[in-house]
Amino acid sequence: MLKIIKVIFFITLILSALNLLSEDYSTIVQGNDDDVSELLQRALNQSILKVLGSQRDFNLNQKKFKKLNPDNFVREYKFIKFNDEEALEVTIDLKELQEKLLELNLGISFLKNPKVTAWVLCKSDFSSLQAAKSLEQKCKFVKKEFDKVANERGITIIYPILDSKDISLFSFDNDSNLENLTIFNDRYPSDGWLFCEISSFSEWCFLPEEIEKKFSQLDLESKYKPTIGINILIDNLFSNRRLKAASQSNFPYYLEIRGLKKFSDYADFESILKNILFINNLRLLSLRNNSATYSFNLLSEEMNLLNYFGEIEKLILINKEKDKVFLALGEQ
């Protein structure tokens, strides 16, 4: 009993200290034969999957999620047209959902709007007109399934156009020489990628050996059906940017921001700090000479903080020391 009380106290402490993002999250659900309550439940499930960032954790905790009432998390919904069909666009209270998942002792992802490059090679089949059309429909179906996953998990998919530079690297025989395949991902900015080979007889996807590297050999030891492969890739991307209800550091971390030319600059930057999921005990130590110095505790790895600042265009990393980072506010 004492252990349970300690766990509840710690989670309460985390929730009161964290200043979670207050922004909303919108998701789209479809289902011609479903009533509104069923669609709202599906929207909540999609949002949970987005915030968790893990298909595995989502599947393992189904009993917990079934007990959650969508009315506690849905801000509003409206009927829209999506892909020429009627759909429901649902706005979720992201902060409320994040707090609940932390309360359930589950990790939450703070990777925003990741992009995935999906290289889909449709191997030609000109044995007959029927075979060619069948393959074309098969490739369209795979991409439609990818788009469905993208909507459910809140990501963007990029489909590169295979040009002569790419095509020269492919073998169009039945036994493709995939171990020597190099893909030019530097031309398509994304957080991760996968390669899929679709033929009349099979459809397999391969992940890179090093998930987040633009140039990597394919892992040929494992091959996946398209929807399984892309979900595994997304799980890997999100897992590198997750906050878990773990013990916080007792040592302060320091940050100095320069180039604050007016009070609104200071107010805007402090708002950014207050909205970061994985810091707490934020304190302003000094404000002078167009700069401000803060201290806080990190609830996640330092690299996550640096990556977060790296996504904000107007912030420039000047220097990094042990437990301290120096930033500057650039021109907007």
Domain regions of the chain by residue span: 2-109, 115-239, 253-329
Q: Which of 31-35, 82-86, 153-157 has the highest mean pLDDT?
A: 153-157
In this predicted structure, what is the pLDDT of residue 329?
Answer: 87
pLDDT digits (tens, 9 = 90+) for 163-180: 545 544 554 444 456 766
Confidence at residue 173, expressed as pLDDT on a 0 to 100 scale: 46
pTM of the predicted protein model: 0.64
User: 292 pairs with which residues across the strands?
Assistant: 257, 287
Q: Which residue has the higher pLDDT, 7 or 151?
A: 151
Per-position b or e across 36-56, b if 16+ CB within 10 A of its CB? eeebbbbbbbbbbbbbbbbbe
Judge whether residue 98 has pLDDT over 50: yes
Tens of pLDDT, residue by residue over 10-67, are 333 333 333 334 456 788 888 777 788 899 999 999 999 988 888 888 999 999 999 9
Are the C-beta atoms of 90 and 26 separated by less than 8 Å?
yes
Instruction: Flag whether pLDDT at 1 surpasses 60.
Output: no
What is the reported pLDDT for 9?
30
Partners of 204 in the β-ladder: 197
Q: What is the pLDDT of residue 163?
A: 55
Range among 254-258, 262-266, 319-323 with highest mean pLDDT value: 254-258
Separation between Cα atoms, residue 273 and residue 305, nearest integer Å:
10
Are 205 and 194 contacting, i.e. CB atoms less than 8 angstroms apart?
yes
Identify whether the C-beta of residue 315 lies closer than 8 Å to the C-beta of residue 327.
yes
In this predicted structure, which of 113-122, 177-186, 202-211 has the lowest mean pLDDT?
Answer: 177-186
